[in-house]
Structure 1
Amino acid sequence: MDFIFMLTRDDRTVTDCLEVVDAVADLGVAHIGFKDVGVDRDTLVRLHARLRGLGVTTYLEVVSTGRDQALASVRTAVELGVDRLMGGTWIEETLGLLRGTPIGYLPFAGEPSGHPTRLAGSPERVAADCRAAEAAGCAGVDLLAYRATDADPLDLVRAARAATTGHLVVAGSITGDDQIRALAAAGADAFTIGSAAFDGSLRPRAGTLRSQLAPVLATAAEVS
C-alpha cells in the first residue's frame, strides 16, 4: 500500500516544507503531497521542482470546499504539473480544466465541509459518489474516512472499494499502525499522513520527523 507523506499540518502546507523534504529525502518516501495554502506560489514552484528532482509521485490536495477557490487550486495543479490532484467535488469542471494533461484526478467521496475538513455521508452515499467519479473518468477517489461524522470509517472504505476499481486513497487523521493495517484489509490503495508526523503522535517517544516516518514506511511495505 502506498504511503503519501503530506507536507501539511492542520490542512496547510508547512512553511519549512523545502527543509523538510531535504531532511527526509533519503528515507525512500515515493509519494509526497502538499496543499496550495500555507506557503506562497514561489515556494510551491520550488517545492514541486525539488520533488520532481527526487523522482517521487507528487500530489496536490484541494482544501477549499467552495467552488471558485477549489477550481483555483485545480489551475495551480495544472501550472505546477503535479502527478495527481486530490479533493474537491466539482468533477465536471475539474476534469475540463485537466483536459490535455496527464494529471490523475481523485475527487472527494461523500460530503466534505469545514476546515480542517470533516466528512458527512453514509456508505451508500460514498459508494454512489465513487461510481459517479469512475463513470466521469476520474482516476479514483479521495476518502476522508477517519474524519467521518455519520458512519464508521472502515464501512466507508469497504463501500468505496466495492463501488470502484479506481485508486482509493484514504486521507486525514491516520495516526497509527492499526489504522494502516485496517485500511489495507478494507481495500485502500494508499493513505496520507501529515499532521500526525509533524506533531509526533505517530511515535510519541521519538523526537525526530525521520523517526516518525520510518515505521510508517515499514508498515506500508508490510501490508502491500
Structure 2
Amino acid sequence: MQARAPVEAADPAEARPGGHDGVYQSIRERILSMVGTIEEPVHLREEDVAQELSVSRTPVREALKRLGQEGLISLQPRRGAVLMPVTLKEYTDWLKLRAELESFIASEAALNASKHDVDHLRSIFAPFNENNLDERVDEYAAANVAFHAYLMRLANNLVLEKIWNSFGHGQMLRSKTIQRLNRAHDSLREHLAIIDAIDARNAELASQLAKAHVLGLLGQVNKSR
C-alpha cells in the first residue's frame, strides 16, 4: 500500500468563520506597532509568524500577500515579506493628505453623530487633564488613535475607510510624534474643540478645526527637522 503524505493538523484559524481575517488583523496590528519604531528593514518569515500566532503557514501567507497588496509591507523576490521603515518624507506626505481626509471625516461626523456618540468621544479623553497629561502621554497616544478611529466610524464612508487603511500605517508614528514634540497639551485642547463642534452639529467648524489640528502637527514636524 502506498504511504500517504502526513496531513497537516487542523488550524483553528482556518476552522472558525472569519479565522483568516483574524490572522490578517493580528499581523496587521503587529506591523503597525512596529513601523514607527524600526530604523532598518525587517524580514517577516512566514514560519516565525505562524509559530508566534499558533497557526499554520497558509493563513499567514495569505495575510502577508494581502498586506503587500495594501502597501504595508514589501513582497520581494527571494526575500519574501519585508517591513520597511516609514521615512519622514512619507510621514509628512501622509499628513498633508490626512489634513484633507480629517476635514471631511469631522464634517460627516458632525452630521451623523448622536448624543451617545458625542458622550463616547468625550469619554475617550475624560481620564486626561492639564495636570496629569505629561505623566500619561503613552495612554493619551492610544486615546488619540481611538478618537480618530471613532470619527472614521461616524463618517460611515466605506471608500474613505479603504483609503485610510491603505495609507494610514504612516499615522502610527503619531504616538512617538506626540512625545517627541511635547504636543499632548495642544492635541487635547484641539480634540475637545472638535468634539464641541460635533456636539453643536456645526459641520463647517468641525471640518476647519480638524484640518487645523493636522496642519498644526505637520508644522511642528517640519520645524523639528
TM-score > 0.5, shorter chain as reference: no
Q: Larger C-alpha radius of gyration, 1 or 2?
A: 2
User: Which TM bucket (shorter chain)?
Assistant: under 0.3
| Greater RCO (Cα-Cα under 8 Å, separation 6 or more) | 2
TM-score (norm 2): 0.24
What's the TM-score once normalised by structure 1's chain length? 0.25
